Amino acid sequence: MRKRKVALSKEGFEGLFELGVSKSVEIGGFLVGEVLEKSEFEESFYNWAISVYGKHGFCEEGLLVAERARARSARLSLGFYECVMGVYSVKGDARGAMKLFFEMDERGVIASEGIYGVLLGILCRAGWAKLCFAVLEEMKRFGFRPDERLTMDLVQLFVKQNMGSEVKYFVEEGILKDTSSLALSVRPMAEEGKPISALELLKSMRESESNVDGSVYASLILGCGKSGLIEEAERIFSEFKSLECVKNAELAYTSMVYVYSRAEMRRMAEKVFQEMEVKTDLTGRTDVFLHMIAMYATLGLFDDMVKMFEELVKKCGASVEAYAILIGAFTKSGKMNRARDLLLEMRSFGVCPNNSIYSSLIEGYLELGLVNNAIAIENEYKSVRVES
């Protein structure tokens, strides 16, 4: 029985199918059965249907359309496989994706860089690290490489599975050489408890003359600090200081101050801060001052806290974050007059108090039973919100 032609343009079908599927999956099924199956085979129509199903999360329906396309043609294009691989990506089906990839090879369809990238992303999310590396090597044969985002995901996967040599692959192949990308890569290595492996990676990169500046060491030190790995952070910082003429050195110093201040190691934090004052310019480095101020606040060293705050104002200008720390510290210790004075001072500098500052003051007054004062602050807060 001859198939009857359907007088519907490609653009007409695409618009109709997109609209139909967005309304109901049953409408999509009707269009597949009544339009695609009863017309002469046109691969682009099938590809569109597969993509639209995948886009709306109807993965099984998309794969059924793919099966119908296979049944009608033995010569499917790369575009078809790209659409089906997209459905497997939405579905998160690593086995299905690999099966599709092997099918392409059997049918002599050469994979594009896009196909490799999507496949690699699926395998990475599935945690199939060894297979990911095999695909990476296959990509290399064709001159393909993963994009920056996928590279970051792969590095984290390899780190979790103790695949240090595979991480080095990105360095050796020149994939991981941008400073910002590298900084993002090494922090999870520290947070996973493998900072020394990351340090060895940095050494390898320097040997290969890759750009490793202070921001990369800062990221690694920061990761150690968040994981409580003080000794490891010290070792990395020591390695950093042994280098000459490293750009963005202030970032590494700031991270080390963060590590010590977070651990409430006052003397060590002060030592690194003083070194930083000598070797770098603190102008505009608000973050390092905030680390020190927060540490003094936690330790109850209010005089030191205020002195550091004054230095911050001189070097960087008034900061709402710094005021929040000071006011929070004074209200917790019941020093409400000093906290209130700081609120007035903020306004003189043109700094607008944030929610946490008003909350601290209200809580402080309530703790002391000064309900009227708390109400006055709350009313002030409401009026400021109305004005803004």
Set out the domains of the chain in order of their start, with CATH numbers.
308-388 (1.25.40.10)
Locate 227 and state its tokens.
């994981």
Only one residue has tokens 């109400």, namely: 375
- Across 50-85, b (16+ Cβ under 10 Å) vs e yields bbbbbebebbebbbbbbebbeeeeeebeeebbbbbb
Tell me if 360 sits within 8 A of 324, measured CB to CB: yes
Cα distance between residue 82 and residue 58, in whole Å:
17
What pLDDT, on a 0 to 100 scale, did the predictor assign at position 17?
A: 65
As given in the structure block, the two tokens for residue 363 are: 């809580």
Q: According to DSSP H, which parts of 282-354 are helical? A: 286-299, 302-316, 320-332, 336-348
Identify the pLDDT of residue 4: 47
Q: What angle (nearest 5°) sits at the alpha carbon of residue 269, between those of residues 201 and 277?
A: 90
For residue 2, the model assigns a pLDDT of: 47
Count of alpha carbons within 13 angstroms of residue 270, beta-carbon side? 9
CA angle 215, 217, 221 (to 5 degrees): 115
Can you tell me whether residue 75 is helix, strand or coil?
coil
Q: Distance (Å, rounded) from C-alpha 282 to C-alpha 311?
A: 10
Residue 303: which H helix or E strand, with range? helix 302-316
Contact at 8 Å (CB) between 51 and 86?
A: yes
Structure token digits, residue 81: 């496989």
Give the C-alpha separation, 77 to 291, whole Å: 58
| pLDDT at residue 22, as a whole number | 66
CB atoms within 10 A of CB 332: 15
Spatial contact of 251 and 215, defined as CB atoms under 8 Å apart? yes
Please, what sign has the CA dihedral across residues 214, 218, 224, 229?
Answer: positive
Per-residue confidence of the chain (388 residues) as pLDDT tens digits? Answer: 344 444 555 565 656 667 666 666 676 666 666 667 767 788 888 888 888 888 888 899 999 999 999 998 989 999 999 999 999 999 999 999 999 999 999 999 999 999 999 999 999 999 999 999 999 999 999 999 998 888 888 887 887 777 767 777 887 777 776 666 677 677 777 777 778 777 777 776 676 666 678 888 898 899 888 888 999 999 999 989 988 877 889 999 999 999 999 999 999 999 999 999 999 889 989 999 999 999 999 999 999 999 999 999 999 998 999 999 999 999 999 999 999 999 999 988 888 898 999 999 999 999 999 999 999 999 988 887 645 4
Residue 121's nearest CA partner among 164, 84, 152 is: 152
* pTM (global) more than 0.75: no
pLDDT at 148: 80
Tokens of 192: 């996973």
**CA 346/CA 243 separation, integer angstroms:** 42
Residue with token string 């710094």: 322
Tokens 């090879």 correspond to what residue? 105
For residues 148 and 181, the answer to whether their CB atoms sit within 8 Å is yes
Q: How large is the greatest C-alpha to C-alpha distance in the chain, in angstroms?
A: 94
